[in-house]
């Protein structure tokens, strides 16, 4: 896999396919449950095969659903074992402050 090829990290996202640029206005994300399943699968694989692989959990829910959902997903990704949570494209200083204040860990 990627780890045996020398990858140190991987980013797992919650966008639907086909993926779009993070700054595009029209994009969608998978359901909360599917996002959690994707992340858990990556974490389980890492924990089984590549314990030093860094998992970056990206959510595009801020634009697609709202900043509260993005913060919720980022926190849950971290709770289940992602190493880094990445909330894509908060659209204002206030939204960025909410992300900074709302992310646990």
pLDDT of residue 67: 95
For residue 18, cis peptide bond before it (omega within 30 degrees of 0): yes
pLDDT of residue 100: 94
pLDDT of residue 23: 67
Q: Which of 59, 29, 33, 55 has its CA nearest to residue 44?
A: 55
Q: Which of 103, 101, 55, 56 has its CA nearest to residue 75?
A: 103
pLDDT of residue 102: 96
- Taking 70 as the pLDDT cut, the residues of the chain under it are 1, 22-26, 105
Q: Which CATH class is domain 10-102?
A: alpha beta
**Tokens at 14, concatenated:** 């919650």
pLDDT of residue 98: 96
Read off the DSSP letter of residue 16.
Answer: P
Mapping DSSP to helix (H, G, I), strand (E, B) and coil, where does residue 43 land?
helix
The domain locations on the chain are 10-102
Distance separating the N- and C-terminal Cα atoms of the chain: 29
């Amino acid at each position: 896999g990627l780890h045996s090829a020398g990858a140190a990290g991987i980013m797992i996202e919650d966008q639907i396919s086909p993926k779009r640029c993070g700054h595009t206005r029209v994009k969608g994300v998978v359901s909360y449950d599917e996002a959690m399943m994707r992340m858990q699968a990556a974490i389980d694989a890492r924990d089984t095969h590549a314990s030093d692989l860094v998992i970056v959990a990206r959510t595009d829910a801020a634009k697609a659903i709202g900043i509260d959902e993005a913060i919720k997903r980022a926190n849950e990704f971290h709770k289940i074992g992602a190493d880094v949570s990445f909330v894509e494209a908060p659209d204002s200083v206030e939204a960025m402050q909410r992300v900074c204040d709302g992310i646990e860990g």
